[in-house]
């Protein structure tokens, strides 16, 4: 099939057209794949393997066009292909119809402009519409940038193929196998609530924005008796590592987080008034997304106007002021009501 064309904007303001390449683009698509294969070894083929491949690519495009589920997402800038991605069936058997594979290549010149995110979001959205339930991919173990992109959009590492790739210099690279379930929360729930299974905490080294960074202090597993969900605890630091406050993220949803929220934060008095708590929330949102959370809650006391401004700065929408039940530990500490803010990632 062909996807619906859409125009998107790169971080530098340039407009890119996302659409499915047609058979007349076969030569240009081969040139693109040869170029990306020459820029890095993080592709399956060497540049010379694309020589004379236009006919094969043309046939593959025709197969995509006639199929009702497989498709290409091709990025065009001023008529030139700068990015190429595809969703394809893993196997033809009936038992595997819910699965699809994903591959992507982008010219290095456009690698830091948000194009990968734009193409991946378009591919995941269309794959779900086409009835696929999960997306699978393989990535070189040392392609850290790609792995972080996939984790940002909910892919989780599920396995490793030892020495999957052998390079011309005789060295080997493992392949990291990753999966994204398109039905919200399935992977999280299956791993979070299996008895005897530890919650899979993720790497948090990406939680920085150039002004602040979140430094992991500890993690805590779920405590079902107390109603505590798995949680991350961070120091909020400036780019030089100076501690300015603390924050935490509770992963998942239950009755407890309805009243206490998924996020907590506190900024030391000397650093207040600079939106550090709100900026920390925005970083925590990215971690929540990697755990396939499609929304979260933030609560605060109704008379805590600074915290209310933080919730609004982070994009929270006030759902109302809720009364705390007597069983909640915050009620026992003297709190009677909470402002309940909702942040939607969908």
Q: What is the pTM of this model?
A: 0.57
Distances (CA, A) of 148 to 38, 138, 153, 206, 287: 22, 13, 9, 8, 11
What is the rounded distance in angstroms from the CA atom of residue 191 to the CA atom of residue 174? Answer: 24
Q: CA angle, corner 254, sides to 249 and 255, nearest 5?
A: 115
The partner residues of 75 in beta bridges, in order of sequence, read 18, 83
Q: How does pLDDT run across 91-132, given as a tens digit for each residue?
A: 889 999 999 999 999 999 998 899 999 999 999 999 999 999
**Sequential pLDDT tens for the chain (346 residues):** 999 999 999 999 999 999 999 999 999 999 999 999 999 999 999 999 999 999 999 999 999 999 999 999 999 999 999 999 999 999 889 999 999 999 999 999 998 899 999 999 999 999 999 999 999 999 998 888 898 889 888 888 888 888 899 999 888 888 989 999 887 545 444 343 344 468 889 999 999 998 999 999 999 998 877 888 999 999 999 999 999 999 999 998 877 888 889 999 999 999 999 999 999 999 999 999 999 888 899 999 999 999 999 999 999 999 889 888 887 788 878 888 999 999 988 7
The string of DSSP codes covering 88-101 is: EES-SSGGGTTEEE
**What span, in angstroms and rounded, lies between the C-alpha atoms of 343 and 318?**
9
């Amino acid at each position: 099939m062909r996807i619906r064309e859409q125009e998107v904007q790169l971080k530098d303001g340039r407009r890119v057209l996302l659409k499915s390449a047609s058979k007349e683009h076969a030569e240009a698509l081969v040139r693109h794949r040869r170029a990306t294969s020459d820029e890095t070894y993080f592709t399956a083929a060497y540049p010379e393997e694309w020589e004379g491949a236009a006919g094969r690519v043309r046939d593959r495009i025709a197969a995509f066009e006639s199929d009702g589920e497989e498709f290409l997402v091709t990025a065009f800038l001023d008529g030139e292909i700068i990015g190429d991605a595809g969703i394809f069936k893993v196997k033809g058997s009936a038992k595997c119809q819910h699965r699809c594979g994903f591959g992507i290549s982008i010219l290095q010149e456009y690698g830091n402009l948000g194009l990968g995110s734009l193409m991946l979001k378009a591919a995941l959205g269309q794959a779900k519409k086409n009835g696929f339930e999960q997306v699978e991919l393989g990535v070189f173990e040392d392609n850290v940038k790609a792995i972080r992109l996939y984790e940002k959009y909910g892919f989780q590492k599920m396995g490793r193929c030892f020495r999957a790739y052998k390079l011309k210099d005789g060295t080997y690279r493992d392949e990291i196998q990753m999966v994204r379930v398109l039905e919200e929360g399935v992977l999280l729930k299956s791993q979070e609530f299996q008895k005897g299974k530890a919650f899979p905490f993720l790497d948090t080294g990406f939680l920085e924005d150039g002004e602040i960074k979140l430094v992991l202090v500890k993690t805590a597993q779920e405590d079902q008796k107390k109603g505590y969900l798995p949680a991350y605890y961070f120091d909020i630091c400036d780019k030089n590592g100076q501690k300015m406050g603390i924050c935490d993220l509770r992963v998942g949803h239950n009755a407890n987080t309805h009243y206490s929220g998924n996020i907590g934060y506190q900024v030391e008095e000397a650093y207040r008034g600079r939106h550090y708590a709100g900026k920390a929330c925005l970083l925590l949102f990215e971690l929540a997304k990697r755990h396939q959370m499609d929304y979260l809650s933030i609560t605060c006391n109704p008379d805590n106007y600074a915290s209310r401004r933080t919730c609004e700065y982070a994009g929270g929408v006030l759902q109302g002021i809720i009364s705390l039940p007597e069983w909640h530990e915050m009620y026992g500490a003297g709190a009677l009501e909470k402002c309940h803010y909702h942040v939607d990632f969908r």
